[in-house]
Chain A
Amino acid sequence: MITLNLATMITNKKYLIGVFDNEHTLVDAFEKALEKGVVIEEVYTPYPIHEILHGMKNKTNITTAAFFYGLFGVTAIIGGMYYAAVIDWPLLFGGKPFNTFPSFIVVSIVTTILTITILTLFTFSVRAKIYPGKQADIIDIRATDDKFIILLDQDKMGIKIPEVTQLFQSHGASEVYQKEATSN
């Protein structure tokens, strides 16, 4: 995570920022940069771009987590209903069995969905660090409007500044600039 803090220049990281006007030029420059072995710190875009999401090689296991939440939910609700209807408080009505399983199915589905929703939202909030009132660590304010930003850490990018500037500009970057910011 990166916080802008111009007062603490000593601990600052130096970043190189490439600004692009559209998805096409961004993806082009991004792929060329990857081919040249440039290490890309992060890409900021106004909407999700799948070439970038794949290229950044980050992975999310939120779907797997959701599956296990569902498994937990369905076990808990069926187990709970079995406990209530058979063990804790068996009721005789019309000679029907205590465990009326088929009629448990509908409510199990709905309650499982409720469990998945609550736990997945919580997981998303924790893992993506998205929560109410969080201060945004903005690198370039235009990234949520109409610009596409590639962020490089100058110490780790594995290429010299003029080279990468040249690379970005030749692939349609509208701006390339340097910025200092603290990292935490």
Chain B
Amino acid sequence: MYKTDIRGKLIDGEKTLSQISQEILAPIDAKVPKWWYISMGISLVMLALGVKSVYITLTQGIGTWGVNSTVAWGWEIINFVWWIGIGHAGTAFSIFLLILRQKWRTAINRAAEAMTVVAVFCAALFPLMHMGRPWLFFFIFPYPNTRGPLWVNFNSPLFWDFMAISAYLLISASFWYFGMVPDFATIRDTTKSKIKKAVYGFFAFGWVGSSREWLRYEGLAFVLGGIAAVLVVSVHSIVSTDFAVSVEPGWHTTLFPPYFVVGAIFSGFAMVLTLVTLMKKLYNMGDFITENHVDAVCRILVFISLIMGTAYITEIFIAWYSGSEYEMYTFFKNRITGDYAMQFWGMFIFNALLPQLFWSRKVRRNLWVVFVISLFINLGMWFERFNIVVTSLSKNYLPASWAEYHPTWIEIGFFIGTLGMFSAGVLLFFRYIPQIAIAEVKMISKYNTQQSDHLKPGHHDYE
């Protein structure tokens, strides 16, 4: 049983079930605000730049990028890992908080899952384009073919990555979608517009809320939730093995899988925080996403930030303690000091030090400060990936092959394009999809009213 007097209210104000539907659905029925069109316009311009960059890459090849034979992985892999990391929070929110019976997840999980789907889609574009000839991407599939027959390398983390991302995209999209089906039915049954009734009716899959449907729905959520929890951990562990199985200094470490998984959840939670502060302010969802919700995410962030700090320091310590001169060089001459020191300190300050401000209740309750810190964490996590990818590659074992890396405008344009795609996706989500899981919020609304205290002892509370 959720104790409102201890944990704070999950919903502000005494709302009837009908009010919950109406308030969450208000943005779908309301007139589209001006700022939405302006933001969408900016997003589309950014997306157009991305399309142009991709077009040039496709027609002229990846020679148009700044990568060279020493730093063969540049912004594309950095951005890939960054987006995948952000995409982790949706499933982490839904699954881990579901398993831990955290009821406050209900106000935030929909936005987090939506963000996941868009972010994973953005992420998948980078390795695809990095192949050079993306139209031959089907070579990754393990199928009997005319090339030998030559099988894919089942021992390669790059192949694992392909399978992991496919599974992750499918499972997070279906978890998100099936979570929305009852809400689409609510729109179908409450809207006055015939067009909306037809469109949302189509997407509601004939949902009527019968006990048979709910039973199977819960069964499905249980299965998908259970396996997705394993998937969240395995996907980013696999991404980390892309690095860790190589013998580059700074990469060849067993710390990488947990370090990557935690880092991914960290950046994803920060992005969730960015989104929910926007929803709270722009769409007046403050009654559902209360100060307690923001507070809870901040507390998680301060905890994960400590793990991140520990991981950074462990890497540095082991570089010294191992006695490997290459590791020493990478960490002490090429990260903490040297050409890329700014990126290292950006990472360390934004990820390990800045979130420590969340120890203060005052900071956690100040939405603007929370918003700004969440943006800095995302920037810091981008620096982390830059730090890993570029510093290790640019100065490896052989000084004769040392090279610097600078991205070309095409690489930058590609990244800006995915940022535009992400923000356009999020704006469409704000506009056309219930931002908060209506059915789930209704389910927890009983913890807000006196009625819940009167449930008979014989009534089991399975929540």
Show the binding face of A for B, using Cβ within 8 Å.
22-24, 27, 42-53, 56, 58-60, 62-63, 66, 70, 80-81, 84-85, 88-89, 100, 103-104, 106-107, 109-111, 113-114, 116-118, 120-121, 124, 127-139, 141-146
A111 to B168, CA, bound (A): 10
A48–B214 contact, CB under 8 A?
Answer: yes
Interface of A is mostly: helix
A63 to B220, CA, bound (A): 8
Leading 4 A-B pairs by shortest Cβ distance: A134-B206, A146-B17, A62-B219, A114-B167
Task: List, in ascending order, chain B residues with CB within 8 A of A143's CB.
Answer: 189, 208-209
Q: Which of B146-154, B321-329, B354-362, B424-432 contacts A (4 or more CB under 8 A)?
A: B146-154
Interface contacts beyond A66-B223, A89-B149: sample of 5 additional A-B pairs, CB < 8 Å, sorted by A: A48-B443, A50-B460, A80-B142, A107-B154, A117-B167
Show the binding face of B for A, using Cβ within 8 Å.
16-18, 21, 142, 148-151, 154-155, 157, 159-160, 163-164, 166-167, 170-171, 174, 178, 181-182, 185-186, 188-190, 201-220, 222-224, 227-228, 230-231, 234-235, 237-238, 241, 439-440, 442-443, 446, 451, 454-455, 459-460, 462
A88–B151 contact, CB under 8 A?
Answer: yes
B155–A100 contact, CB under 8 A?
Answer: yes
A158 to chain B, nearest CB (A): 19
A134 to B184, CA, bound (A): 13
A89 to B147, CA, bound (A): 12
A166 to chain B, nearest CB (A): 22
A128–B17 contact, CB under 8 A?
Answer: no
B223–A138 contact, CB under 8 A?
Answer: no
B166 to chain A, nearest CB (A): 6
A146 to B209, CA, bound (A): 11
Task: List, in ascending order, chain A residues with CB within 8 A of B174's CB.
Answer: 117, 121
Given contacts A24-B454, A27-B459, whether A106 and B160 have CB atoms under 8 Å apart is yes
Nearest CB to that of B148 among chain A residues? A89
Partner of B215, one of A53, A106, A138: A53
Task: List, in ascending order, chain B residues with CB within 8 A of A110's CB.
Answer: 160, 163-164, 167, 231, 234-235, 238
A101 to chain B, nearest CB (A): 10
Nearest CB to that of B452 among chain A residues? A24
Task: List, in ascending order, chain A residues with CB within 8 A of B223's CB.
Answer: 62-63, 66, 116, 120
B16–A146 contact, CB under 8 A?
Answer: yes
A60–B219 contact, CB under 8 A?
Answer: yes
